[in-house]
Amino acid sequence: MAYEAVIGLECHIQLATRTKMFCECPVEFGAAPNTNVCPVCLGLPGALPVTNRAAIDAALRLGLALGCDVRAESVFARKNYFYPDMPKNYQISQYDRPLCEGGTLPVVMAGEERRFALTRIHAEEDTGKSFHPERLGDRKISRVDFNRAGVPLLELVTEPVLREASECAAFLTALRRLVRWLGISDADMEKGQLRCDANVSIRPPGQTTLGTKTEIKNLNSIKGVEKGIVAEIARQTAVLESGGRIEQATLLYDADHDKLAIMRSKEFAHDYRYFPEPDLPTLVTSDAWRADARVRLPELPWVREERLIADYALPPYDAAVLTEERDLSDYFEELARGVPPKTASNWLMTEGLRHMKENGWDVEGWRLRMPVGAFATLVQKVEAGELTGTLAKQALATALQEGAAIDAVLARPEFQVRSSSDDLLPLVRAVVAEHPGPVSQYRSGKLQTIGFLVGQVMKMSNGQAVPQTVKQLLESELARLE
């Protein structure tokens, strides 16, 4: 029997604040272990937490961007459990009065916008990190690094509205784009800055009650999320089809070996003995603060994506690529002031993104080497027929490689176009003489053979000939042979 899957996601977003959630320790990836710690984040007796306003401001902006209801007064709660990488034996989180509730994340899938409903977003602190087991001589040892303990986290929980693994991957991709767009997190999944747990259950189609769910923990890549959910749906289907029952459980997914392992039976909320955090006051976000946070929101990525389609008549695919990053859409819109939009999009998406990828540059790195004005000049010359596409691409590569200005490169003799008939006619005649086969095909009516001959002349001219001129010269030369 085919089953329908019901999936909810819990996403943890590490905030790119300067300091931790409740102390002044720096937030820094890759620092020497246990160097960014203090009495507060180590949970030493008598140390008192103070809420990081920048982290709450980031949470507000995310909540407002997603259309959540933001609570004017929310409450931090202690979540009690024992874990070796959590020095206090409790985590400061939010429970029954979280900062944000409701809202939706718009996700464009196959050209169609869908909105996935959210349950809540709450603020909390991250735990430390364990490394185990390692071998030290003949002993097995575990290590723990508390640098991450107390790093600001947002937990975003969806309603169980996702049905397919591919939707979950699209959801996470859209969430990652949004938090980077807002500048609140680098959301690098490999560094654990964006993590995802998935709650999965299955049911026969048409059934409205939910099946027993399992939770897959700590999925750390978008591909891993998708594959892990596919594996868990298959596992649950096999259990039900062999007459078994799904047990509530927490699972780990090993993406390298495509294997699920049952980690522990799932805790229930009452196991955590939540109670309001006595060391922190009620978290108050004033009307003024919320209004100000709303004003500081940039144009949101899905709004900009729609606008690029409407204002520049771009195909949806181009708009999606160009709004993957805010810097990239900024660069595009600046370029489109001097170059026809679709041409600007083509050059940026092919040549621009290729050079960025090959050199490991972000958009800012690209902009430093290729300011919008310089790139526009290059493309305008091609548009005006003063430069061939091939030459322009070579000039661009040369300028980037040498760190030279594009104008200086374009002034070199090898980047001048050759458009005079006197100059090109000898090349045309040589190509006609060298390729009797295609020439006779052309003369017997296969007119598309001209493309091959033009290509040969272009090659002989090192890409400097103007293709339209070459084509005209070839046509009259071939007509002359009659």
Q: Give contact residues for Zn ion (rule: CB under 5 A).
A: 23, 25, 38, 40-41
Closest separation between CB of residue 95 and Zn ion, Å? Answer: 23
SS (H, E, C) the chain: CCCEEEEEEEEEEECCCCECCCCCCECCCCCCCCCCCCCCCCCCCCCCCCCCHHHHHHHHHHHHHCCCEECCEECEEEEECCCCCCCCCEEEEECCCCCEECCEEEEEECCEEEEEEEEEEEEEECCCEEEEEEEECCEEEEEEEHHHCCCEEEEEEECCCECCHHHHHHHHHHHHHHHHHCCCCCCCHHHCCEEEEEEEEEECCCCCCCCCCEEEEEECCHHHHHHHHHHHHHHHHHHHHCCCCCCCCEEEEECCCCEEEEEECCCCHHHHCCEECCCCCCEECCHHHHHHHHHCCCCCHHHHHHHHHHHHCCCHHHHHHHCCCHHHHHHHHHHCCCCCHHHHHHHHHHHHHHHHHHHCCCHHHHHHHCCHHHHHHHHHHHHCCCCCHHHHHHHHHHHHHHCCCHHHHHCCHHHCCECCHHHHHHHHHHHHHHCHHHHHHHHCCCHHHHHHHHHHHHHHCCCCECHHHHHHHHHHHHHHCC
Closest separation between CB of residue 87 and Zn ion, Å? Answer: 10
Closer CB to Zn ion, 34 or 441, in the complex: 34
Closer CB to Zn ion, 51 or 346, in the complex: 51
Closer CB to Zn ion, 48 or 313, in the complex: 48
Closest separation between CB of residue 29 and Zn ion, Å? Answer: 16
Closest separation between CB of residue 337 and Zn ion, Å? Answer: 47
Closest separation between CB of residue 37 and Zn ion, Å? Answer: 6
Closer CB to Zn ion, 38 or 280, in the complex: 38
Closer CB to Zn ion, 25 or 432, in the complex: 25
Closest separation between CB of residue 142 and Zn ion, Å? Answer: 22
Closest separation between CB of residue 247 and Zn ion, Å? Answer: 39
Closest separation between CB of residue 77 and Zn ion, Å? Answer: 20
Closer CB to Zn ion, 83 or 275, in the complex: 83
Closer CB to Zn ion, 42 or 374, in the complex: 42
Closer CB to Zn ion, 28 or 69, in the complex: 28
Closer CB to Zn ion, 50 or 141, in the complex: 50
Closest separation between CB of residue 19 and Zn ion, Å? Answer: 8
Instruction: Provide the sign of the torsion angle of the four alpha carbons 79, 19, 296, 318, taken in this order.
Output: negative
* Contact between residue 126 and residue 135 where contact means Cβ atoms under 8 Å apart: no
Closer CB to Zn ion, 146 or 181, in the complex: 146
Closest separation between CB of residue 155 and Zn ion, Å? Answer: 21
The amino acid at residue 168 is C
